[in-house]
């Protein structure tokens, strides 16, 4: 399938979240999350974010122009 083992298996420690339930003053939970997101997906998302930021700026300019009545 042309996929390296390193791309599939990743040995990183998970994120630990400790919380206390303030309504009962008890309870602690530890969550271990392991994510392996391919670089091409992250790059694609970053490009999309950049595109959205550009569109927001264009819409802000258009909105300002429309509000000024020009």
If we measure between CA atoms, which residue out of 41, 32, 42, 37 comes closest to residue 7? 37
Of residues 70 and 21, which shows the higher confidence score? 70
Return the sign of the alpha-carbon dihedral for residues 33, 38, 42, 45: negative
Q: pLDDT digit string (tens) for 12-37?
A: 655 555 555 566 555 555 666 667 78
Is 60's pLDDT higher than 70?
yes
pLDDT on residue 69:
84
* pLDDT value for 67: 93
Q: How far is CA 21 from the centre of its chain?
A: 26
């Amino acid at each position: 399938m042309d996929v390296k083992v390193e791309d599939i298996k990743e040995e990183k420690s998970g994120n630990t979240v400790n919380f206390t339930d303030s309504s009962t003053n008890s309870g602690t939970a530890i969550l271990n999350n392991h994510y392996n997101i391919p670089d091409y997906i992250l790059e694609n998302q970053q490009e999309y974010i950049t595109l959205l930021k550009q569109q927001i700026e264009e819409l802000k300019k258009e909105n300002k122009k429309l509000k000024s009545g020009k």
